[in-house]
Amino acid sequence: GESVGLHLPTLSVQEGDNSIINCAYSNSASDYFIWYKQESGKGPQFIIDIRSNMDKRQGQRVTVLLNKTVKHLSLQIAATQPGDSAVYFCAENKQGYSTLTFGKGTMLLVSP
Amino acid sequence: SQTIHQWPATLVQPVGSPLSLECTVEGTSNPNLYWYRQAAGRGLQLLFYSVGIGQISSEVPQNLSASRPQDRQFILSSKKLLLSDSGFYLCAWSVRQALYSNQPQHFGDGTRLSIL
């Protein structure tokens, strides 16, 4: 069936670098996307979301880019810090549906 | 502000025993409530969601059931646990109108369930 997936299971970066986590989705009807951060032993924490009428949205140190043409979503983290080490999930939703579909996750490892 | 609580944080149960996991939300009314399971190193699988008291939708056939006896209380149960029920169980909430308009879900810190 249609699903959301991630290109890289693990991303290792140095502290201070910029990180980019990618996500591909296959449901062209999806119109809402979310990025979550999950630290070990905790539940996913909302980071940022974007609706399909936007291409880019910025938060504090994070930017989400949406390319609907190729059904691709990315999360950019500026000046990555050791506290950013976690698993990052993308999720998508289609208008009129109650549920989110989650990708498998990418682990981000930040070295000091 | 809104908060979501799950308990217990960890649970070890023998095969064939019953299960009851509880989730409560504070600071909001009429939330949508969700139960997810997360296998080790995997994404989240939606098990149940509820749009109101006594209203439960099941996403996958399984050995589990859910109930919503109060507006902000969501319970995950089983009469007889299987080994395959092991996992990390997460409860989440979203604002009521989020069912048909896009809003994020907010998660609790989960219950890690081990079946022996």
C-beta of residue B55 within 8 angstroms of C-beta of residue A8: no
At residue A3, the pLDDT reads 44
Residue in chain B lying closest to A37 (CA):
B107
pLDDT at residue B62, rounded to an integer: 79
Closest CA of chain B from A43, distance in Å: 4
Mutate to test the interface with A, among B44, B91, B99 (most CBs of A within 10 A): B44
> Tell me, what's the pLDDT at B102?
74
- pLDDT category of residue A27 using cuts at 50, 70 and 90: confident
- The 10 Å CB-count burial string (b at 16+, else e) for A12-33 is ebeeeeebebbbbbeeeebbbb
B110 to chain A, closest Cα gap in Å: 6
> What is the rounded distance in angstroms from the CA atom of residue B110 to the CA atom of residue B116?
19
Quote the distance between the C-alpha of residue A85 and its chain's center. 14
Cα of A80 to nearest chain B Cα, Å: 23
Q: Binning pLDDT at 50, 70 and 90, where does residue A4 land?
A: low
Q: Is the pLDDT of residue A84 over 60?
A: yes
Phi, psi torsion values for A100, nearest 5 degrees: -100, 145
Q: Which residue bears the tokens 């109108």?
A: B97
pLDDT for res A101: 87
B contact test, residue of A100, A104, A106 with most B CBs within 10 A: A100
- Judge contact between A46 and A102, C-beta under 8 A: no
Q: Which of A4, A33, A50, A98 to mutate to test the interface with B (most CBs of B within 10 A)?
A: A98
pLDDT at A26: 80
pLDDT along chain B (116 residues), means of 10: 93 97 95 90 86 89 91 96 94 76 88 95
Nearest to B46 among A46, A49, A99 (CB): A99
pLDDT of amino acid B101: 62
Laid out side by side, the sheet with A4-6 consists of A4-6, A19-25, A72-77, A62-67, A56-58
Q: Which of A16-20, A40-44, B65-69 has the lowest mean pLDDT?
A: A40-44
Asked whether residue A2 carries a pLDDT value surpassing 50, the answer given is: no
As a residue count, chain A comes to: 112
Q: Is the C-alpha dihedral spanning A41, B7, B74, B78 positive or negative?
A: positive
Cross-chain Cβ contact A96/B105 below 8 Å: no
Find, in chain A, the residue whose alpha carbon is nearest to that of B112.
A41
- pLDDT, greater one: B59 or A61: A61
Report the C-alpha gap between A1 and B64 in whole angstroms.
24
